[in-house]
Amino acid sequence: MPKKMVQIPGSERQALPGATISGNIDPTEQIEVTVRLRANQPIDKQKLFDIGRRKPAERRHMTREEYEADHGANPDDLAKIQAFARENGLTVGDVSREERKVVLSGSVQAFSKAFNVELKEFQHKTGRYRGRTGPIHLPEDLVPIVEGVFGLDNRPQAKPHHRRAKPKAAGQVPSSFPPPQVGALYDFPSTVNGSGQTIGIIELGGGYQASDLPAYFQGLGLRPPSVQSVSVDGANGKPGVDSNADGEVMLDIEVAGAIAPGANLVVYFAPNTDRGFLDAVTAAIHDRTHTPSVISISWGSAESGWSAQAMQAMDQAFQAAGALGVTVCVAAGDDGSSDGVSDGQNHVDFPASSPHVLGCGGTRLEGSGKTITSEVVWNDGPGNGATGGGVSGQFGAQDWQKNARVPNNGSGQPGRGVPDVAGDADPQSGYQVVVDGQATVIGGTSAVAPLWAGLIALINQELGKPVGYLNPLLYTLPAACFHDITLGDNGSYKAGPGWDPCTGLGSPDGAALLSAMKA
């Protein structure tokens, strides 16, 4: 008797706005899917919050071995999914208890039957993609153990959050900076260089030319950092194919590397799909070879463009990062309070809206030497870029933001406020970098994530241990740890004293932050 099929909660998807079905998918086409399983024992979020409130010297993080034993997938659950795959003519690939995943491969026809979905070819302004609408189904006895199925749909999930500088109009004052100059303006610790730390960088496209890096860093008077690449889901960095994506990769490497030149940089390249993004994040968090203590993410998209299962799975991955002592810094977006969604409503960018990451907003910075002369919210006007920020419609109000006066979201409900912190992002006061052999200036909140990642690597080195999940602690630190941004707006939200939905708590005073974390 056939087993009853039940939909997986949160797996529903709609076609991309403006997409049209252009045909059927070849039923023999081979694809790969990641099945994400429930944890043997969920992470206690209250315990994670309590750890996050402690000063770093008092924190004790789990080892990856301890995490796997306590919070990895149940071996019986892994076995059930492998048996299900074999029953449906699917091949089992990578199985990871720690990452709670089973990778399956097979034909479109086999997957369509196994998960009761109809895959079609869609045409969209971003290009062709294999897609589905509605939910994914599984036999009734498997639904409780499966938290998500990723890869049936390969639409582009995220975009890079950077902007290239345009020729300046008359009267525009800000000028660009080499990354170390931004660090000097923010008084980053100068007696450490990130030695002993590893910064993981997530990339969903593009690549870097290794030959660009020695000359760039030597031009800054720095020793080039160690840069390695990790392939996720078969993706590899391919410079020269997409100059826009190359700009993102080089910006991330050059900013993080210039702030913490003694750190090891590991770039995780993955396909730009929900599966690729999630697999890259979990690969970095659970990487026992490179063991990053900080991860920088400069890609994302509005919460409305994600399935509930994908946001849940990603947020759980960030909870794992917190338990392991890994800090995750994420760009808040470059399209203001709408986050680029043209429905007249406010939106925030995910994964920056996850409560377990450090959301990074943007400012326009002016100054020289170690003196800031002006810093306001980055907003270059409609279509020209502005810092993302607002209130999540997916994640509720957070205890650590209870005194931040976070407004309600668009549905009138309390929510997680975005961003947490900020830094220089306006391309007109942007970062001097080299992309595909060409010197250029780039801004965007994409630059702020690696900027903060570099700072945290410096702080980790000075403290002698990783700080890990930072948000609960940051909101208790003295105001002097931040440059409070009180002028400007990102569309619907205005800056003001204290936390605001444009620049969060403000841009960093690196020396004051380090001193407060030592105290």
CB atoms near residue 180 (< 10 Å): 17
Q: Among residues 153, 212, 252, 335, which one is catalytic? A: 252
Q: Which residues of 439-473 are buried (b: 16+ CB within 10 A; e: fewer)?
A: ebbbbbbbbbbbbbbbbbbbbbbebeebbbbbbbb
Question: For the residues of 172-213, what is the DSSP string, one character each?
Answer: -----B-HHHHHHHTT--SS---TT-EEEEEESS----TTHH
For the record, the structure tokens of 519 come out as 């105290």
Of 357, 269, 341, 354, whose CA–CA distance to 311 is shortest?
A: 354
The two tokens of residue 273 are 């799909």
Q: Does residue 293 have an active-site annotation?
A: no
d(CA 425, CA 435): 18
Annotated catalytic residue within 147, 203, 248, 375:
248
State the Cα–Cα distance between residues 448 and 454, nearest whole angstrom: 10
Burial of 75 (0-12, 13-18, 19+ CB in 10 A): exposed
- 252 as an active site residue: the answer is yes
The packing angle between helices 445-463 and 510-518, to 10°, is: 40
Rounded CA separation 251/430 (Å): 11
Respond yes or no: is residue 515 known to be catalytic. Answer: no
Q: Write the DSSP symbol of residue 498.
A: S
The answer for residues whose C-beta is within 8 angstroms of residue 25's C-beta and 6 or more apart is: 108, 119, 120, 121, 130
Catalytic position from the list 446, 489, 507, 509: 446
Residue corresponding to tokens 């960018």: 349
266: three-class secondary structure by DSSP? strand
What does the alpha-carbon distance between residue 180 and residue 396 come to, in Å, rounded to a whole number?
A: 37
Distance in angstroms (rounded) separating the CA atoms of residues 27 and 120: 10
Q: Which residues partner with 168 through β-bridges? A: none
How big, in percent rounded to 5, are the helix, strand and coil portions of the chain? Answer: 30, 25, 45
Element containing residue 47 per DSSP (H, E): helix 45-53
Quick one: 275 exposed, middle or buried, by C-beta within 10 A (0-12, 13-18, 19+)?
Answer: buried
- Cα 448 from chain centroid (whole Å): 12
Angle at 326 between CA 320 and CA 332, to 5 degrees: 90
Tokens for 66, please give them: 């301890």
| Residues catalogued as catalytic | 248, 252, 446
